[in-house]
Structure 1
Amino acid sequence: MTPLSPAQADETRTWLSRVENVSGLLAEKRAQAEQDRATPTAVMDALRAQEFHRMWVSHSFSGANVSLRTGSAVLQALARIDPSAAWQMGVQGAIGRLSDYLPDKVAARLFCTSRGLVVGGVNPTGEAVPVPGGYRVRGTWSFASGATHADWLLCAAVLAPCTSGSSGGQRGQDGPAPIRMLFIPGSTASFIDDWHSLGLCGTGSGSFTVDNVVVPESHSVDGSLLRRPPAVRRTRGYAIAYYDFAPFTTASTALGIAQQTLDVFRELAGRTVPARSTHALADSATVHATFARATALVRAAELVLADAADQAMAHGETGGEELSGVIRLAAASVAENCVSAVTMLHTAAGAAALRSGDDLDRCFRDIHTAARHITLATTNFEMVGAHLFGGPLLMRR
């Protein structure tokens, strides 16, 4: 891990001070978000006022263009207060990276003139039918975190075969159908309230449907480009491929949850006396060892994620599959370490961990939910392992 330069350290401190500006409101509204299964509008307005949703957008499109280390530190700090809010800002950060792939005028329209979120569904569960000048889109997308707060929605769709006079691509004989990433106004979608989850309850990660919305070619991105850095241009914010950027957002939130768990457990252990015992958990040698191991796991996760961020910033343009493998290993390792640390402490707390709604209970639910994301999934070990043995780096087998 490379030490931060004075300028980078100043940038990080400045942005962490913005977290302090909203920390009280986040803490106050967290229970409401859990109950409503969506972040309150007042909280989202406060997050946008601090420009967290535009941290990782190019200066050219009214973004802050902060470093990966700074943005990661912000998401960790937000997650220590409200993981659901951090998750949504991370999703916005990841999808905001598509601004470097869109035409300049369209990116400016989505991010300069729009104050709401630009989020949506990156799993290609819809269909895009080529029509003259664009695509006709239909489908349903799930796990759309923050979508009801969005001005624009991303719809990842399978591209149907071309017809005469239409744009688009053709399915190869042996390969999968091409994927198109398409942006639609949020007002053209219908929302389904189906987010009933174990954790990250306040993310509002419901589903939305789109029926025959025509999207101009200019408001779409060829999905095959996203494993490579965006083309060099004056307005480009980052020389990092979309799929090399996205894991930092989810991993940072997972890390913040684990960091919060360490604080929560230390406080709980000091005041909890197990049944038929005369000593608090904090006096137990077994608890001491467990807490130390959990701390080591979280610390290792912090270091591996920071190192991967440095590698991405330094080698995003040229790192290729080697860099992608480093990033995917880092994200999966962060998730594995954080799940292990939180689970260890949840177990060590005994019956005290069973109070629904308490902070330790919430951390346990949130980390196990976050770790289900594809960027954090254990299958990344399988894919990267196969690559280390000389094979191609696959997304999934």
Structure 2
Amino acid sequence: MLATTVPSRDELVRKATDLIPLLRKHAPWAEQNRRLHDEVVEALADAGMFKLRRPKHFGGYEVDTLTLAQVAAELGRGCASTAWVTSVYWIPTWMTCQFPDEVQEEVFATPDVRICGTLSPSAMAAPADGGIVLNGKWGFISGAHHAQWQEIIAILVPPNGEPYPVMALVPLSDLLVVDDWDTSGLRGTGSVSTVAKDLFVPSERVLPLPVLLSGQTASKRNGNTPIYRAPLMPVAAASSTGAIVGIAKGAMDVFFERLPDRKITYTNYESQREAPITHFQVAEASLKIDEAEFHAWRTSNLVDRKCEEGTEWKLEERAKTRADVGSVIRLAKDAIDVLATASGGTSIYSGIPIQRFNRDIQAVNQHALMHPNTNFELYGRVLCGLEPNTLYI
């Protein structure tokens, strides 16, 4: 497949900005139906959003991490669920690029292929002739309804030796989809569960997870491409931050849209815009969003610089990317809380968007690999000279 012309960062960000009205239009539908609207997925594909981590030799763009973050920030202004799912697709797509080249040929034969996935080893794998056999269930599989492949993690129990986690690629058509996604936030992500029962996966579509976590690759064509030569967790962390910044910016957008016509009930303020407390609130929220953006861009720039240099990652650098994600979430959540508090009693109606942004950021905050408390503890542990108590660094 011939490589395509790669749009600039500014062009891709502009394409994402142009999608905001459509994303906002369909956000209530996505929340009600617990998945993205087909029109939104088609528009994302037309805008090239699923090509950002696809290799150039398969018609992709191979953009850097900062581009991902800035594009996702625009998508998040329109719809948190859309930005989240798009970011989730980027990460397993990058992971697919670590597999042998013949596996990539199979996966990327589908135009605008969408790959969902998880990092949770919640299934078991048994050795089989020519591959492994999977049994188990994976939860929180964002974007599964519109994906063709899923990246999975399972614990392989070899005949001899200790069990260890493996990563594999499986077609969604080989998995049972369990529609159990009924939540308070990020409802539009369609983060259902998937199940494998005695599913055979050929060995070429299986990699030891520690290999990927350490930054090694089984791909010959991608081995020297900067964006593909990094440990998994810094890439995954940095790829997630833009959507979070965008959720906070989206909350600010909808707050200001309501501001001129809102009174403050039981006061003499005919417009909330005239009240000094409002001035304080919007300044505080805006500065928190600025801080969140700083951490998001910083960790993206770190990943991009290390990829370009091809230098070994220090343990502290890896932990800092997790800490940056935690900071982005904490600051975005705080900013949205300020805006939601300032939005009055009418903001709890389902037709007022800020209540959805507020619930969505609460859901992001609970993500096991993104929770500020978990990530700050990990970073502090490393700063204190202790070994990390997790493989996911």
Amino acid at match of 1:380: N
Residue 384 (structure 2) pairs with residue 389 (structure 1): yes
Query: Could you say if the C-alpha distance between residues 357 and 129 of structure 1 is closer, same or farther in structure 2, counting changes exceeding 3 Å?
Result: farther
Aligned residues: 378
Q: Distance in 1 between matches of 2:367 and 2:239?
A: 11
Q: Percent identity?
A: 25
What is the Cα deviation at residue 248 of structure 1?
2.1
Q: Secondary structure at the match of 2:140?
A: coil
Structure 1 runs (4+) deviating above 4 angstroms are none
Q: Distance in 2 between matches of 1:186 and 1:369?
A: 25
Q: Distance in 1 between matches of 2:19 and 2:355?
A: 23
> What is aligned with 1:166?
none
What are the equivalent positions in structure 2 for 1:56-95 lying under 5 Å apart?
Answer: 56-95=53-92
What is the Cα deviation at residue 223 of structure 1?
0.7
> What is aligned with 1:14?
11
Compare 224-233 and 337-346 and name the one that shifted more: 224-233
Q: Secondary structure at the match of 2:148?
A: strand
Amino acid at match of 2:71: V
Q: Secondary structure at the match of 1:273?
A: coil
Residue 195 (structure 2) pairs with residue 198 (structure 1): no
Give the TM-score taking structure 2 as reference length: 0.91
Match of 2:273 among 282, 286, 293: 282
What are the equivalent positions in structure 2 for 1:253-292 lying under 5 Å apart?
Answer: 253-279=243-269, 280-292=271-283
- Asked whether the 8 Å contact 1:114–1:151 carries over to 2, the reply is no
What are the equivalent positions in structure 2 for 1:233-272 lying under 5 Å apart?
Answer: 233-236=220-223, 237=225, 238=227, 239-272=229-262
- Asked whether the 8 Å contact 2:316–2:379 carries over to 1, the reply is no
Match of 1:314 among 301, 305, 323: 305
What are the equivalent positions in structure 2 for 1:22-171 lying under 5 Å apart?
Answer: 22-113=19-110, 115-162=112-159, 170-171=161-162
Cα deviation code 1:357-377 (max 9, x no counterpart): 311101101111112223321
Q: Secondary structure at the match of 1:263?
A: helix
Q: Distance in 1 between matches of 2:199 and 2:112?
A: 22
What is the Cα deviation at residue 148 of structure 1?
1.7
Q: Distance in 1 between matches of 2:343 and 2:14?
A: 33
Q: Distance in 2 between matches of 1:329 and 1:73?
A: 19
- Asked whether the 8 Å contact 1:251–1:376 carries over to 2, the reply is no
Amino acid at match of 2:214: R
Query: Could you say if the C-alpha distance between residues 233 and 394 of structure 1 is closer, same or farther in structure 2, counting changes exceeding 3 Å?
Result: farther
Residue 357 (structure 2) pairs with residue 363 (structure 1): yes
Amino acid at match of 1:371: N
Give the TM-score taking structure 1 as reference length: 0.90
Q: Distance in 1 between matches of 2:151 and 2:46?
A: 23
Which residues of structure 1 form unaligned runs of 5+? Answer: 1-7, 164-169, 172-176
Cα deviation code 1:86-119 (max 9, x no counterpart): 1111001111111232001102211243543111
Q: Distance in 2 between matches of 1:380 and 1:83?
A: 22
Residue 182 (structure 2) pairs with residue 188 (structure 1): no
What is the Cα deviation at residue 21 of structure 1?
4.7
> What is aligned with 2:3?
none
Compare 67-76 and 229-238 and name the one that shifted more: 229-238
Which residues of structure 2 form unaligned runs of 5+? Answer: 1-5
